[in-house]
Structure 1
Amino acid sequence: MDWLQRINGAMNYIEDNLTEDIDYSKIAKIACCSSYHFQRMFSFITDVTMAEYVRRRRLTLAAFELQNSKIKVIDLAVKYGYESPESFSRAFQNMHGVTPSLAREKGIQLKAYPRMSFHISIKGDVEMNYKIEEKDSFKVFGVEEIIDTTGGNNLVRIPRMWSESFENGTYKRLEDAAPKGQIQGLCSVNAIMCYRCTDTDTFPYMIGAIDFKGDAEVPEEFTSISVPALTWAIFKTEEHKEEETTEKIQDIWKRIFPEWFPNSGYEHAEGPELELYYSLGKDRCYSEVWIPVVKK
């Protein structure tokens, strides 16, 4: 239950500071993880970014104040962190569909996003296949991009990035440069993310080849990163067709944090996250999500 208490403590901090500057590093400290990993976890669990959640909560409270007080729009804009009444009005109308002035009128329909809290969902009807493994340090090399998570851009940009790598020959060049025969069935090109800190609503994502021995010759066109020795929680999807890869791996991501971590005895460690893809032949495959962990 410690995990739930920490996550809900972080949500309480957000709620208590909606009219102040929210310190994302403090949120993560309350949750006992990095700002980077907390925001990523939050997005996977809720399907909305942390910044978007904060924006919705502020505009929800602003609508309540408009209907229940005589506060000026300019004062409300300042109170909820907007640089001008115009930027506040645009944001308000984008969410509620009406201007702040109209929101004062009786019978106007507005939107309210309630505060979030987290609870354990006891299901048990679908198993999760996982194992804990220790791995020595290794390298990954490939092409990277800083992915923006606002507005679900990551769900669009990452698939497009893969499509572009096939179209422009990057995937083939990575495949040719990748070490062969390291793990049975492992595809030559995989993905690694969150291997360094970027901005609040972004994370680094690399389509790359994994070199578990660390001695492969890396072509100059590719970026190389080192992954330290870590303990990994490795989650395996069910077998699926190649075109189902994105769906199946996203299903696993959405279950790891609310279903596995609370009762696992492990916590998320500092380090990158990986997605590995395996081929079983005849259009059958499976995928793995690797997350660095430490015992509580």
Structure 2
Amino acid sequence: MKNYTLEEKDSFTVFGIGTELESDYTDSAGINKEKADFWAAVKQDGRLDTLKAIATNDYIFAVNEAVNNKMMHYAGVMTEAEASVTGETRVIQFPKGEYLVVKGEGKTADELSNKLTSIAFGQVLPEAKNFAYVGGPNATVEMGQRNGLVFGEMWIPVVKK
């Protein structure tokens, strides 16, 4: 069963509030806990609502990006504005080009993100013969809810091998 597609996307911009992930990149349990703690904080303190208020659509982005040799994680939205929020903010440019798209659903946004990340980086990319991820920002995109589940996609820019 093919659990992904390759899609051409126009460039787009995400405005995000970020945190540096301190766990080693191979420590998925540590990374997942840091991300869950970060999301709980931005939901509780209202920063996520501030982002949603300037969004051009209903998508919520969980962006991973290496910035200045730091592993960063952002809560973000597509927007043409910037919000005044506390924390490290960044305008994240996603390039025009081909993207690996993995679709899925989970009971929570965290479960969705963890599941899509595991499929993309644990299964699809290691087995890919025609394309590769060469860095740059990647994102889990929470697109909505249906039948009591959160659904969305993971978008990873790739190049042909």
* TM norm structure 1: 0.47
Q: Which amino acid aligns with 2:23?
A: T
Identity %: 22
Work out whether 1:176 is the aligned partner of 2:71.
Answer: no
Number of aligned positions between the proteins: 154
| Contact 1:195-1:273 at 8 Å conserved across structures | no
Aligned-pair RMSD on alpha carbons? 2.2
Note the 1:51-66 alignment, pairs <5 A: none
SS in structure 2 at match of 1:193? strand
Work out whether 1:193 is the aligned partner of 2:64.
Answer: yes
Higher strand share: 2
| Contact 2:116-2:140 at 8 Å conserved across structures | no
Aligned to 2:23: 149
SS in structure 2 at match of 1:173? helix
Work out whether 1:158 is the aligned partner of 2:25.
Answer: no
Q: Which amino acid aligns with 1:207?
A: A
Post-superposition CA distance 1:47-93 (Å, at most 9, x none) = xxxxxxxxxxxxxxxxxxxxxxxxxxxxxxxxxxxxxxxxxxxxxxx
* TM norm structure 2: 0.81
The higher relative CO (CA closer than 8 Å, separation ≥ 6) is in 2
SS in structure 2 at match of 1:194? strand
Deviation at 1:263, TM superposition (A): 3.9
Deviation beyond 4 Å, 4+ runs, structure 1: none
Structure ID, larger Rg: 1
Note the 1:117-266 alignment, pairs <5 A: 127-150=1-24, 152-180=29-57, 187-199=58-70, 203-211=71-79, 216-221=80-85, 222-237=89-104, 239-241=105-107, 243=108, 245-261=109-125, 262-266=127-131
Unaligned runs of 5+ in 2: none
| Contact 1:267-1:293 at 8 Å conserved across structures | yes
User: Could you tell me how far apart the structure 2 residues matched to 1:154 and 1:257 are?
Assistant: 14
Distance 1:285 1:257, change over 3 A: closer
| Contact 1:174-1:189 at 8 Å conserved across structures | no
Post-superposition CA distance 1:178-234 (Å, at most 9, x none) = 113xxxxxx4422111153424xxx011101124xxxx1212334322222231000
Note the 1:276-295 alignment, pairs <5 A: 276-295=141-160
Distance 1:235 1:264, change over 3 A: farther
